[in-house]
Amino acid sequence: MPYEAVAAWRAAGEAGDAAAAIAALSPDVTLISPITDQFTFHGHRQLCDLLEVALEAIDDITYTDQVAEGRTVALFYEATVGGTRLHEAQRLRLGDDGLITEITLFIRPLPAITKLMNRLGPELARRNGRPGLARLIPLAGGALHAMAASGERRIMPRAAPGQESRVP
């Protein structure tokens, strides 16, 4: 199966070009959020808003791997969000026409997800006519990010393999 839409999607992501990314998508595309199960994005209009905001927030996207079987493609990239390292896996499903019909995103580590939420959420809320929510997201998300970042830097390294137990 030719994967022209996948190649176009990858090139658009690395170039930060939301319009070119949209051209690789089926008009009835669905994107499943990596941040919450509470909603998905449907169609070009919703994905255009999301991609414009996301590609502004995520820096230096570099795709590293692609695995494909039939109409399912897995892509992996590395990037940064606000100076925090981010790794993303994308499961793409292709339609009969070769365009991308479904995107499911997976992001790690947790501080990258919380930082991304704080960057995407307010602007998406503003674009959806929810300015009050746009002001609330950084407050709630900031606390969540502080906990995730602190755990990543201070707590989890102590549990790493090879670390001595320091029981008083």
pLDDT in tens, 79-108: 999 999 999 999 999 999 999 999 999 999
The answer to the question of residue 85 being in a domain is yes
Spell out the long-range contacts of 149-155 with Cβ–Cβ below 8 A and sequence spacing 24 or more: 149/84, 149/111, 149/114, 151/110, 152/109, 152/110, 152/111
In a domain, 64, yes or no: yes
Question: What is the pLDDT averaged over residues 108-121?
Answer: 91
Cα of 83 vs its chain's centroid, Å: 15
What is the value of pTM for the model shown?
Answer: 0.86
Whats the size of the chain, residue-wise? 168
Residue 164 lies in a domain: no
- Tell me whether residue 87 is in a domain: yes
Distance between CA atoms of residues 165 and 158, nearest Å: 8
Q: Is-contact 47 25, C-beta < 8 A?
A: yes
6 close to 66: Cβ distance less than 8 angstroms: yes
Q: Is residue 162 a part of any domain in this protein?
A: no
Q: Is residue 166 part of a domain?
A: no
State the total domains in the chain. Answer: 1
Could you tell me the CATH number of the domain that includes residue 116?
Answer: 3.10.450.50
Is 167 inside any structural domain?
no
**Residue 114 within any structural domain of the chain:** yes
Please give the residue that has the higher pLDDT: either 40 or 150: 40
Does the structure show a pLDDT above 80 at 1? no
pLDDT digits (tens, 9 = 90+) for 31-58: 999 888 888 999 999 999 999 999 999 9
Distance CA 119, CA 134 (A): 10
- Give the range of the structural domain holding residue 36, as residue numbers without chain letter: 4-157
Q: pLDDT digit string (tens) for 24-33? A: 999 999 999 9
**Tokens matching residue 91:** 């499961």
